[in-house]
Structure 1
Amino acid sequence: MSALLLIEFLNIKPGQWIIQNAANGAVGESMAMLAPTRKINTINLVRSKESEQELIDLGITDNNVVTDNDDWKEQVKKIVGDAQISGAVDAVGGQPGGELVSMLGKHGVMASLGAMSGKPLMLNPSNLIFNLAQVKGFWASDMMQTISKEDMQRLTGELIENAANGTLKLPTGGVYDLNDIQKAVSDEVQSDKKGKILIKP
């Protein structure tokens, strides 16, 4: 739901581009799977080849860029070509968040939804001033309380349809019986999980 809400929050239209960091997180993976169903293009930034492999394992093979490579910005420009990037999603903060703003086209908008780096968002004022870019905070639970009932039903239906037809694939970190709840929440399981932990009654 966060991925769909972000698309609407950023007002991204068919044919436009979104760039996102931490693309191997739950929101990033969902965005990479759901945006194409609306004919929206995504650029999925990850820090390492191992993280990129997580996307590939889910069938997300297009427009993945590893930021450990020195030429990652050139790779992005090559992917986009003459088009502009209309929206960005930053879950990292710090310098990586600022770099996303620098990639936006004129009137582009970035949604800030996390600070995995633990550092304040670093922005170059020139990227805001000369591109008339915006940075907006995004909190999914707040948006879900303010959107209309009709929009919520529409988005929920879209999610269910994409899950049912196999477009939306969400990896799990394991399925545990209720009797094994202590193991499910243990550091051993939580530190190495690849998705949500599910509890089976």
Structure 2
Amino acid sequence: MACFEMHVKLLNRFVRPKINLFRTIVAQQLEYREHGDPPSVVKLTNHTLQPIRADEVRYKVMAATINPADINTIQGIYPIKPPLPAVGGMEGVLRIEEVGSGVWDLAVGDWAIPSPAGFGTWRTDGIAPRTDLIKISNKLSIVQAATLAVNPSTAYRMLKDFVDLTPGDVVIQNGANSAVGQLVIQLCRHFNVSTVNLIRDGKADEKETKDYLGELGADVVLTETEFKRKVRSLFEKMASPKLALNCVSGRGIVYMAGCLAPKGKLVTYGGMSKQPLHVPTGAFIFKEIQLHGFWMTSWNRDPANAVKRRKMLDVLTQLSLDGKLQPVKYQLVPFKEYQQAIEATAAGHGRKKILVFEWCETLNGACCSAVNEAFSGSSVPC
């Protein structure tokens, strides 16, 4: 018995009880439990985070965008349908707060963006597998980082994957004042490719829009009606486009497709008019033009594109750091004012909305001063 007691004392001396150092973290998130009208079905809820596993990381969200695709996902009309209940938001920038024991290529303080669509960025904190994150440079502004994954990538891929564009070539696009359209203009300027840019008729700020697109690098900006009237004379002065980018569809495509060079390509990535695609039969037969569809999410899902995606993000990052690629006009909105931001995006009003978080005010140099102003009482347009 004495021998047994001695062994117990020795064990108690050298073996300490395991202490759980995990502190409880309660995250807030914008969740929807059913599909429907986004302002009605999205609710602010609390979620307690669990300890991370070896292959996981814990993060804080620095900024998260509200895109039309997010609205359509919540409505249930987008091809991506996360299991319910789901957290909104496909795009944003995260800061790593904790890494699992099996994660070697991310460290606390690193920045990352989500890899899969439907990630759920409308939250304060979260936990994700390392494989769901892509590390990015923390030299970017928060806005540059938060908006890197969707629109710049879409514009870049469409310019790179369908036609081998060289300096002096021409690209034509409709919806030129859309987010992707503005980035197409800037990238073409960098590639020394000319752009013909179409905007819809009847815009109250038509002159301001034309001037702004010109500042971004647009060579020609016309309304759809102006283009129909000038299409013949226009391409007597410049080369016929090798590539046409369409996010509108409808009958106006007849004129875009008709002006393409022989074997030119029309790439459709949206259908804002909600009308079918109208393409002239003659252009198919006598010019042998080709039609393609493009969806960034589908491209990202293909494992064969992983290396291309990394290289693309590096190129876009460097262009942003060099000042050659600027985000579209945006409005920073405090996270707790999400309701108004969702309503405005759903209605198609105003600038791009980016949710920001109060904790970012403490990051020296990581946030633009507008983030601080956003928490001083009102949303801030930039």
2:292 is paired with a residue of what secondary structure? strand
The CA deviation at 1:190 is: 4.9
CA deviation profile, 1:97-139 (whole Å, cap 9, x unmatched): 2221101011101001111112111122111110011111111
* Rounded Cα–Cα distance in structure 1 between residues aligned with 2:220 and 2:331: 29
2:229 matched residue in structure 1: 71
1:84 is paired with a residue of what secondary structure? coil
2:288 is paired with a residue of what secondary structure? coil
The CA deviation at 1:31 is: 0.2
CA deviation profile, 1:69-116 (whole Å, cap 9, x unmatched): 252314531452xx2311101111111122211010111010011111
1:42 matched residue in structure 2: 195
Higher helix share: 1
| TM, length-normalised to structure 2 | 0.48
Structure 1 letter corresponding to 2:339: Q
The CA deviation at 1:149 is: 2.5
The CA deviation at 1:188 is: 8.3
Structure 2 letter corresponding to 1:90: N
1:5 matched residue in structure 2: 157
Unaligned stretches of 5+ residues in structure 1: none
Aligned counterpart for 2:173 among listed residues 20, 25, 41: 20
Unaligned stretches of 5+ residues in structure 2: 1-152, 358-382
Q: Which has the higher contact order (CA 8 A, sep 6+)?
A: 1
Q: What is the 5 A alignment of 1:121-200?
A: 121-146=277-302, 147-187=304-344, 190-194=347-351, 196-200=352-356
* Rounded Cα–Cα distance in structure 2 between residues aligned with 1:84 and 1:46: 19
Q: Are residues 170 and 30 of structure 1, via their aligned partners in 2, closer, same or farther at CA, if it must alter by over 3 Å?
A: same
Q: Report the aligned-residue RMSD.
A: 2.2
* Rounded Cα–Cα distance in structure 1 between residues aligned with 2:196 and 2:155: 14
Asked if the contact 1:43/1:76 (under 8 Å) is kept, the reply is: no
* Rounded Cα–Cα distance in structure 2 between residues aligned with 1:200 and 1:93: 34
If you compute each CA radius of gyration, which structure gives the higher value, 1 or 2? 2
2:277 is paired with a residue of what secondary structure? coil
Tell me the matched-pair count. 198
Asked if the contact 2:333/2:355 (under 8 Å) is kept, the reply is: yes
The CA deviation at 1:176 is: 1.1
* Rounded Cα–Cα distance in structure 1 between residues aligned with 2:272 and 2:236: 27
* Rounded Cα–Cα distance in structure 1 between residues aligned with 2:316 and 2:237: 28
* Rounded Cα–Cα distance in structure 2 between residues aligned with 1:184 and 1:19: 32
Comparing 139-148 and 126-135, the one that deviates more = 139-148
Q: Does 1:57 align with 2:57?
A: no
CA deviation profile, 1:53-77 (whole Å, cap 9, x unmatched): 3353252342212223252314531
Please identify runs of 4+ aligned residues in structure 1 that moved more than 3 A: 187-191
2:251 is paired with a residue of what secondary structure? helix
* Rounded Cα–Cα distance in structure 2 between residues aligned with 1:79 and 1:90: 23
Comparing 24-33 and 42-51, the one that deviates more = 42-51
Asked if the contact 2:263/2:288 (under 8 Å) is kept, the reply is: yes
Asked if the contact 2:249/2:278 (under 8 Å) is kept, the reply is: yes
| TM, length-normalised to structure 1 | 0.88
1:95 matched residue in structure 2: 251
Asked if the contact 1:112/1:136 (under 8 Å) is kept, the reply is: yes
* Rounded Cα–Cα distance in structure 1 between residues aligned with 2:260 and 2:207: 22
2:262 matched residue in structure 1: 106
The CA deviation at 1:175 is: 0.8
Q: Are residues 135 and 51 of structure 1, via their aligned partners in 2, closer, same or farther at CA, if it must alter by over 3 Å?
A: farther
